[in-house]
Structure formats: C-alpha cells, structure tokens
Chain A
Amino acid sequence: MSTTSSAPAQTQKSMADYASEFGLKPDEYQVILDRLGREPNYVELGVFSVMWSEHCSYKSSRMHLRKFPVTGERVICGPGENAGVIDIGDGQACIFKMESHNHPSYIEPYQGAATGVGGIMRDVFTMGARPVALLNALRFGEPSHPKTKRIVEGVVAGIGGYGNCVGVPTVAGETNFHAGYNGNCLVNAMCVGLADADKIFYSAAPEPGLPVVYFGSKTGRDGIHGATMSSAEFSEDSEEKRPTVQVGDPFAEKLLIEATLELMASGAVAAIQDMGAAGLTSSSVEMAGKGGLGITLDLDKVPQREANMSAYEMMLSESQERMLAILKPGRENDGYRIFEKWGLDAAVIGETNTSGHIVLKHKGEVVCDLPLGPLSDDAPLYDRPWVEPDMEAPLASVPSAPVGDALLTILASPDMASKRWLWEQYDRHVMADTLADSATGSDAGMVRVHGTKKALAVTSDCTPRYVKANPYEGGKQAVAEAWRNLTAVGADPIAITDNLNFGNPERPKIMGQIVRAIDGMAEACRELNFPVVSGNVSLYNETNGVAIPPTPTVGAVGLLADYDQRVGFHTLKAGQVLVLIGETAGELGSSLYLREVHGIEAGAPPKVDLSVEKRNGDFVRDLIRSKTAKAVHDLSDGGLLPAAFDMASASGVGIELKNSTALEDHVFAFAEDQARYLIAVDEASAHLVLAKAAEAGVPALTIGVAGGSDLSLTGVMSLSLDELKTANERWLPEFMG
C-alpha cells in the first residue's frame, strides 16, 4: 500500500512489534491475522489496537457487566449507547452518564480534567439532550504527597474552566484524599441532560448511501493513542505521555452544543456520534457497525489543524470538540448553514454503504480496508481468572476517645473538611434552574426541569474504604448511599450510571475486587429497583504495581414531581425535635472515626441490608412528601455527630443531642450503620412520627432538640458551632494556600 499507510520510516520493526507497542497481546494480534487472512498495515493495526483497547472494548469487564439490571419501566435506553436515557414523564427524558478521565488528569491535571468534562457533555448532547447539570467525583493522593496539591489545583481549575465557560451548572460532587491515589488520581465526571422523549438520537447508521458529515474543531496531532494509554499501567516515566493528553476548548464545545441541537431540530440528522476516545476510528466504526452497514471515508476531506497529517494520525487523534453525523438524503445544506452560523469547520467526508467494511482513502489510495465485524462485535472478551479479594475481618474491639476532640478531628480531616475552596470555583447557578448545589445543605444536587414543577435530583457516591475492606458489601453500599441521598431530598430514585475504577484486571486479586464489587452493586440495583443505564470502566489504575483502592463510583438520578416538596438539611429551626431513623448497632469497622482519630484502617465495613434500606427510605420519603419532615440528612461518613453538625451549621441553629441508648458515647456519635437518616420534625408531630415508624417497623428514636448556638451531646461534650465551623472550613484553603 501507500506511504501514508506505512509505519514511520527508518525503523526495523515488524507489524508484530508495533502490535505489542500499541498494547495488543500476542494472542490478540494472532486473532487479527486470522480474521484478516493477512498482515494488517500500520493504519489498520492502529485502528484495531484502539478498538480492542480495554477503554473501548471493555474486554475484561464486559462479561461481568451483564449482571447489572438494565431495564425498568422508566428506562428508555440502557447501556450501549453514548449515555443512558430515562423517562421522566410528560414526554420528557433525562439522559446521563459518568465517565473517568483518570490517566490524563494525572499526567496533565488541567487539560485532563477539562477534557473529561467536555467528553461527558458530548456523550449527552450527542443523544439530543441539552446538558443541565454536571457532577464530579474526585479522589486525590494524601495531602502530604508532593504531587497532590498541584493535581488538586489543576483538576479543579480544569473542571471549572470548562464547565463554567460552556454554561452548565456543576451542582454536586465528592472529594476524597488517600495515599492509595498518590500515583493515580481519579477524575470521574458526570453530565445530566434533558430531551424530548420522542427526539432521542442514536448512533447506528440507518441506511446506505447517506452522507457522513464531520463538524466541530479541526483534527490535530493531540491525544494520539489516548485510549491505549488509558488502558495501561503507569510507571515513573508516565509524564512522558503528556502528548497523549488532549487539549480542550470549552468555547468550541459551547458552539458545538448549540449547532448540534440546532441541526437535530432541523430534522437533518439520521444518526450521530461524538468523537471521543479513539476519535474518528471509533465513531465511524460504531456508526457503521451498529447499523450493519459499511462506511468509506476520504481522509483528505477531514478538516486538519496541521499540515501533512498521515492517515494513521487522523484516525488515532483524540482532538476534542468533534462530531460525526450521518445526514438524511440531500440535507447537507441545512448542515452547512448551521455550521457556518456557529463558525464551525464541517465537511462531508464519506458515505455509508453496504460493504460491511470500513474503507479509508487518503491521497488517492486505499489506506485501510477492514471488515467491521471483528473490530467491534468480535472484540476480545476475557473471563479473567480471579480469586476472592482480600477482606477485613470484624474488629474485636474499638478504642474510645473524647467525643468532642474526636468530632473536631473528624470535621477537619481532609475527607470531611468543607470543600468550599473547590466548589466556589464552579458556576453552580447558570441556567437559573438550580434548586440545590454544593453550598445549599442538601444530600443531592437539584435542578428544575426547565419550565415545569419537576426537578431532577443528582448525586455521586462511593466509599472506597468500604469497597477495599469488602468489595461485595462496599459495592452494595455505593448504590445504597446514592439511593439514600436521593431519598433524603424527597426524590424518587430512578436509575444510575456507574464508573468502575480499579487496578490491573490481569491480577486475580484485582479481578476479584471487580467481580465482587459488581456482584454487590448488581444486587443493590435489583433490590432497590435502581437500574444501570450507562457506565464506564477504568482499569489499570496502578502506578509501579500499586493499585488504587477499588472505587466503583455511582452517579444517580432521581425525580421530584413537584419541587416544592423538596427538603434539605439547611432548614432546621429552633424548637424542632430530632429523630434518628434506622437502627444503630454500632458499626465502626473501616469507619472515619477509626481512621482519623486512631489511625486504624481496618475492620469489616457496615453491612447493607437492602430490604431495611428500602423500608427506611420509603418511610422517610413519605414523611417528606407529607411535609412532616422539616429537615433531612442521611447518615454516612462519620456517622451521627458529623451529620448533626452539617445540619446545625447549614441551618445556623444549635442542636442538643442525648444518648439514651445502651451504646457507648463514641459509638453512638460516630458509628456508620447504614440505612439511617437524621430528620427534624415539629415538636407537636414527633409522637405521631414515632407511632407511624413503629407501625411500619422502622426503628425511630427521639435524640435531641434544635436550639442555641452549640452542638452538644448532653453530659459528654458541647462545642460552639462557630468553633466547629472554623475547624471544618479551615483545612482545604490552608492546604491549597
């Protein structure tokens, strides 16, 4: 074939050498040889290697992902498309997904995080939705690690720099710090969008003979082989991989959103796909492959940012803010009119056909001709060997500590300290529909469904220390906590997106974590009627052989039929009575109390009883709907006392708690038993709430009253809210100082 399909000159390497360099295993390369009946050329090898990368093919996780429930009465489209789609009534749909950008963010924090936000937004608007909310789940190394501060600074600036400019509010998120992420931070970004249920766009090419239109930014040499890089472990020289990281342009993304939605509204779009990981390769292969067709592209027509780009570079580039659309016959001019209005590059670069092949032409020659079947449908699928992962045994005993000192320590710890420094850099109010954001005092972010009384509640959750201690229970807990957070604001939990972050799946213990966490998550999803509609898997999160703590992040969406029925934990008033819903057995294994106060990271994590979770949550949601619960906070990290602090602090009124249980005070204060809520009710309705709870079989206990300006546990400790607030607010700004 031509020079443009060949490898760089002056090398003595064989195609097999290149295959290994591109991350293909010898047996995978052999499959390619068998399927083609010949040796691939350099371009073809590049196309195979990205399509068969872990990132694009899910080859290690696919068979386990099948365990997730993916259907439900509100599910319009489950996993397999760019994002999941749920029915939110009145002919409206919510489209959402979470995706990782871990490796790029570690190598180049600002651009890595920024393009993570850009990529996930494209997944959502590609399906016809206007993005209306962003969330992020961030895990950084320990604060004392020399790289941590720089990574936090860059990631936060990148998320803000991109989302703020595009004009989508960042309403919720979570941030952890742990030595386990020293060599491999996690940046998981989630986007939630709204569309009309009868105007959802898919990627499958519907028929042959249709024009394939490229629009958006030009293609450059950035991000080449990004998907392959993301599918390998890190080592000391990882920073040399910086050229594989893409550069984002949020202004271009904003224009792309408007142009895409306008093009869709014009009726010209037959199928559409964004160019994300593996760029032009995966978008064209997926569109033609899903449609059971073939596709021919003329690479000379691709808008190029740099001169003399080779076919290989164009196909492997991960330049940002690009889309590929298949238009209905004769609608090219509608496209050009819209692209010109928004100042975007555009070109018809090819056509669909019935060949079943992807054929690429460059400089008058065919530089790639591959059957589509093997590329996507026949991608490798591994049943990787796995063993039961390491698990923490229950603790024989838990040391005690002065409760007030312990509370101050926990509130000032990196995981629990206020993240104000971080979220004040995110525009949380653009679009003027934000009802609750990170500043509000709410267990979930909430945005109105524009122009209606409905609202979406959104949250992101995972407790990595639980998953590490017991992947199965930890997997259940991540789903249950997301469900609880949506419940705590009064929403009906609808569906989740998952972002599974793990180490190297070729190691049986890591594979064991993956398998068991998925088992736990799948069970929780089934029991809570909380299907998985989209997701992303990020493996090989290791540096120098050390894996991250297993972190299967859950992004979840719930619906409020009437946003006037929402509640937060910032609405507590003096005189109201505090009721603890749910049973406290005293679970302190793998708790924040143990880690932050005693430096112990051990013990079995709290058990998650899903039927109890559902029963207690449904009870609390009813109290919210009947306006009986005036303020609600779920109990999670740190247990009761930190939750009481959150409520008191956000509401500006003190709380006096009393331990009338048989539990020791530090256990009562900091146990992390699941399925619990702290709710505030008017004094007059307290007895009724307790009676209703007894009737429903829900444990409920009056534990205090609101008033004054201190947080106290009668006879044990009393601290002013000001002092506690100072401790809680001080850490992050001082660290970043």
Chain B
Amino acid sequence: MKAAVLVFPGSNCDRDCKVAVEVTTGAQVSMVWHQDTSLPAGLDLIVVPGGFSYGDYLRCGAMASLSPVMAEVVKAAQRGVSVVGICNGFQILCEAGLLPGALMRNAGLKYVCKPIELTIENRNTRFTSAYGDKSSVWMTQGNGDGNFFADAETLKAIEDNHQVVFRYVENPNGSVNNIAGIMNTEGNVLGMMPHPDRAFEPALGSADGAPLFHSLMRVLQAA
C-alpha cells in the first residue's frame, strides 16, 4: 500500500497517522506539505491528520481546505482514492466539500479528551470490513469542535445511504444522531472525530483503531 499524510501548519497528529499506518499495514507513507501542488503517484490512501491547522483561527479546517494540496486531494477522491480525515482532518474534509455536514463547538463548550465507545454502523465499507462482528470499539478522542451537524434533509440522505460509519454510544459533544464518523456516497472518503491513530496497539489503551487500516489493506489485496 502507498499512503500519504498531509501536513498543514498546525497539524499535530501527522506523525501519529504516519506511524499508525506504517505499524498496522507496513505501508510506505510519505508526508505531503500543504503547499505542494501534486501528490505522489499511485497513492492508495490519503490521510488528513488531526491538529489545529492554521491555529483553528477563522473556523476549524476552513483555511486548510483552501491550501493548494487540497485541490489535488479532491481530484484524487474523485478518482476513487481512499481518503481518511481524523479530527481536524474530518473538519477539513467537510470544509472542502468532500463530506456533507459541519462540525460545531462541542455542546459543553469545552475541549473534551476521553476514551469513547463507538458502534460500527456500517460494516460493509472499505474502512470497516476487518472489524468482523465486533459490536463496539474503543478509541480516544480530543477536540473542542466535534459536534457534527447537518440539516434535516442532508441528515436523512446520510442515514438513508448508510453513510454513518461510527456512532457514539454516549454522545460526548451533542453530535446529531450520535454521529462520530461518516463517509461520502461513493464510500471512499471517511471523516471521523475519534482517533484510530491513537488506538493502534494495546499499550496505547486500545488497538481498536488498527482494523480500520487493516480494512484498507484488505480492499487492496482483494483488488
């Protein structure tokens, strides 16, 4: 597998994502600077990492979504390349229009960092096939703006199309329909607030993030 992790000024989970992908899949991972105007050839996976791109000034993910590299990510997504946005990466993908909805300030108005239980809502995706029949998983999350929102019509479409991939067992931030992660209608772009990149081996408290990356490997092996 060939993967790339984007790096924006203020990204702070870029190394975490690189290590998580390397450890779980053995993939070759390159770091791509936000001002680059091209992506490495032959990518199978693009990870948009967490952090505070551009300091989260203006609005989380808003400025990063306009970085030169994002135009290339949009094109790659349209070609069917897998894209995973985690935390700030999810916010960036929403701002870039690759995913529906938006992420607002947490309902409690505070940053919340804690391990969180998620149900896998859709096992039939390229991101979740390796989870088998596991009913719920644990990952940690840490964010101030993880409150997913979409208007009623968009939300209905998301639900009807089975685009919800992960749901919170206990909603930590007011997200509509307890949504923790969604994908696009084509099923190749995933955005999620919890961090699989911080839960990929038991020493970190949970290895439940690893099957997400294993799933992506499976897709490739099947192809």
Is residue B94 within 8 Å, beta carbon to beta carbon, of the partner chain? no
Q: Which of B9, B12, B52, B113 is within 8 Å of A424, CB to CB?
A: B113
Chain B residues with CB below 8 A from A157, complex form: 110
Q: In the docked arrangement, what's the CA distance between A427 and B12, Å?
A: 11
Give B7-20 as 1s and 0s: 1 = Cβ < 8 Å from A's Cβ atoms.
00110110110011
Interface size on A, residues (CB 8 A): 33
Q: Does A603 contact B (CB under 8 A)?
A: no
A429: contacting residue among B15, B52, B110, B113, CB under 8 A? B113
In the complex, the answer to whether A432 meets B113 with C-beta atoms within 8 Å is no
A563 to B110, CA, bound (A): 33
Contact flags (1/0) for A136-177 with B, using CB distance below 8 Å? 000000000000000000000100110011110000000000
Task: Give, as a whole number of angstroms, the nearest-CB distance from B199 to chain A.
Answer: 9
CB neighbours (8 Å) of A423 from chain B are: 113
By the criterion CB–CB under 8 Å, are A429 and B142 in contact?
Answer: yes
Contact for B198 among A160, A429, A563, CB less than 8 A: A429
B197 proximal to A (CB < 8 A): yes
Chain B residues in 8 Å Cβ range of A342? 9
Q: State how many angstroms separate the Cβ of A627 from the closest Cβ of chain B.
A: 16
* A439 close to B (CB within 8 Å): yes
The residue on A at minimum CB distance from B33 is A341
A564 partner residues in chain B, CB cutoff 8 A: 203
Which B residues from 170 to 199 make CB contacts under 8 A with A? 195, 197-198
Q: How far is the CA of A142 from the CA of B140 in the complex (A)?
A: 33
Which single member of A254, A432, A435 contacts B197 (CB below 8 Å)? A432
A251 to chain B: which residues have CB within 8 Å?
Answer: 9-10, 52, 54-57
B156 contacts chain A at the CB level, 8 A cutoff: no
* A410-459 residues at the B interface, CB under 8 angstroms: 423-435, 439-440, 448
Q: Give which listed residue, B111, B197, B200, contacts A427 with CB less than 8 A.
A: B111
Q: A166-B12, A343-B9 are contacts. A254–B113 as well, Cβ < 8 Å?
A: no
Q: A250 at the A/B interface (Cβ < 8 Å)? A: yes
Inter-chain contacts of B140 with A (CB < 8 A) = 428-429
Contact B52 A165 (CB under 8 A): yes
Q: Which residues of B contact A167 (CB under 8 A)?
A: 12-13, 51-52
Given A255-B9, A424-B112, A435-B203, also A430-B142 (CB < 8 A):
yes
The number of residue pairs between A and B whose CB atoms lie closer than 8 Å in the complex comes to 90
Contact partner, A164, options B9, B19, B111, B200, Cβ 8 Å = B111
Does chain B have a CB within 8 A of A519? no
Let me know if B13 and A424 touch, CB within 8 A. Answer: no
Contact of B203 with A425 in the complex, beta carbons under 8 Å: no
Which residues from A are CB-within-8-Å of B10?
165, 251, 254-255
Band of interface residues on B: 20 to 34
Chain B's closest residue to A165 (CB) is B52
Q: How far is the CA of A342 from the CA of B115 in the complex (A)?
A: 33
Contact residue among A165, A426, A432 (Cβ-Cβ distance under 8 Å from B55): A165
B-side contacts of A434, CB under 8 Å: 198, 204-205
User: Residues of A contacting B55 with CB < 8 Å?
Assistant: 165, 249-252, 254
A429 / chain B contacts, CB cutoff of 8 Å: 113, 140, 142, 195, 198, 204
Question: What 6 A-B pairs are tightest by C-beta distance, nearest first?
Answer: A167-B12, A251-B55, A432-B16, A427-B142, A165-B52, A429-B198
User: Residues of A with Cβ closer than 8 Å to B?
Assistant: 157, 160-161, 164-167, 249-252, 254-255, 342-343, 423-435, 439-440, 448, 563-564
* 21 A–B contacts, CB within 8 A, in A order: A160-B111, A164-B111, A251-B52, A251-B54, A254-B12, A255-B9, A342-B9, A424-B110, A425-B110, A425-B111, A426-B111, A426-B113, A427-B113, A428-B113, A429-B142, A429-B195, A429-B204, A430-B142, A432-B13, A432-B204, A435-B204
Chain B interface residues (CB < 8 Å from chain A): 9-10, 12-13, 15-16, 19-20, 50-52, 54-57, 110-115, 140, 142, 144, 195, 197-198, 200, 203-205
Known: A249-B55, A427-B142. 11 other contacts (CB 8 A): A160-B111, A164-B111, A164-B144, A167-B12, A167-B51, A167-B52, A251-B10, A254-B55, A424-B114, A428-B140, A432-B13
